[in-house]
Amino acid sequence: MRPPARRAAARTALAALAAALCIGARDVRSFTLGQLVDASDGAVVGRIDRRSVEEVDAGDGSPIYFTTLRIEGTDLATGEAETIDVMYPGGFVDERRGAFNASMPAAHETRVGRGVVVFHDRRDDVVGGLRGELLLGGRASLFPTFESRRGATIVQGRGRGYAVSKNVRLTDLQARVRELRRAKRETR
Partner 1 sequence: MEGDEAAEGYDAGSSTGDRRVGLAALVLGVGVGGLLARYRATLFPTVLDLAGTAPFDAAKVRAFGLILAALLVRRGRRAVREAPTMLLTGVALGVGTRCLDPVDGSLLTDSASPWIAVLPWLVLAFVGATLGRGARSEVGGSRFERVALLGGLAFGAAGVAVQVEGIARIALRLGLGTEGDDAVFATVFAALVAVGGAAFGRSVPRAGRAHPLWALAITSVASVAALSIVAAIARPLGFKALCARFGADASLAGTPGVDAIVALTAFVLPALAIGATLHVARHPARLAALLVGAAIGPLAVTSMLSIYPCRDLASLDSLGSAGLVRQGALVTGLALVVAATGLGARSRVRLGATGLALTVVGVALPVSRVPVLDPWERFPVTPRAIFETASGQFTIEPAGGSLERVTLDHRPLSPRADELRADSMRIVRAVAAARDRDGRLPKTVLVIGLLTPERAETLQALGVETIDRTAGWWEAMNVLENHLFANRPAPPGMSGPSEFAIMDEYDLVLAFTSGASASGPLDLLRSATGPFDVVQWLDPDRPVAHVAMEERVLLSSDGIESFSLARTHALDEDAGLIELGPPLPAPTLVGWMSVRPDERARRVWRDAAARIAAGPSAGAFERAIALHAAAQHVSSPFESATERVELDPEALALWREDAVSRDALSPVQREVLEGLAHVLEGRREVPLTFETLEPIASKHAPWPALERTLAWAEGEELEFEAAAARLAPLWRAEPGDVATARAYAHALVEAGEPADAVDVLRPLSDASPADRPLRTQLADALVAADDAEGRRIARELLRDDPSNPLLFGLARGVRGLEALSAESGPPDGR
Residues that bind partner 1 (CB under 8 A): 1-4, 6-7, 9, 29-30, 32, 90, 100-104, 106-108, 137-140, 144, 146-150, 152, 154, 156, 158-162, 165-167, 169
Where do the H-state alpha helices sit in the chain?
Answer: 9-23, 33-39, 170-187
E strand residue ranges, 40-105: 42-57, 63-75, 81-89, 91-92, 98-99
Between residues 128 and 138, which has the closer beta carbon with respect to partner 1? Answer: 138
Considering the complex, what minimum distance in angstroms separates the CB of residue 124 from partner 1?
A: 25
Closest by Cα among 135, 60, 123, 144 to 91: 135
Between residues 47 and 82, which has the closer beta carbon with respect to partner 1? Answer: 47
Between residues 102 and 112, which has the closer beta carbon with respect to partner 1? Answer: 102
- Four-residue CA torsion sign, 143, 174, 43, 182: negative
Considering the complex, what minimum distance in angstroms separates the CB of residue 165 from partner 1?
A: 6
Considering the complex, what minimum distance in angstroms separates the CB of residue 80 from partner 1?
A: 27
- Four-residue CA torsion sign, 183, 184, 187, 188: negative
Considering the complex, what minimum distance in angstroms separates the CB of residue 151 from partner 1?
A: 11
Using CA atoms, how far residue 84 sits from 43, 65, 152, in Å, is 10, 19, 23
Between residues 32 and 80, which has the closer beta carbon with respect to partner 1? Answer: 32
Considering the complex, what minimum distance in angstroms separates the CB of residue 76 from partner 1?
A: 19
- How far apart (Å, rounded) are the C-alpha atoms in residues 143 and 157? 7
- Phi, psi at 121, each rounded to 5°: -140, 130
Between residues 36 and 43, which has the closer beta carbon with respect to partner 1? Answer: 36
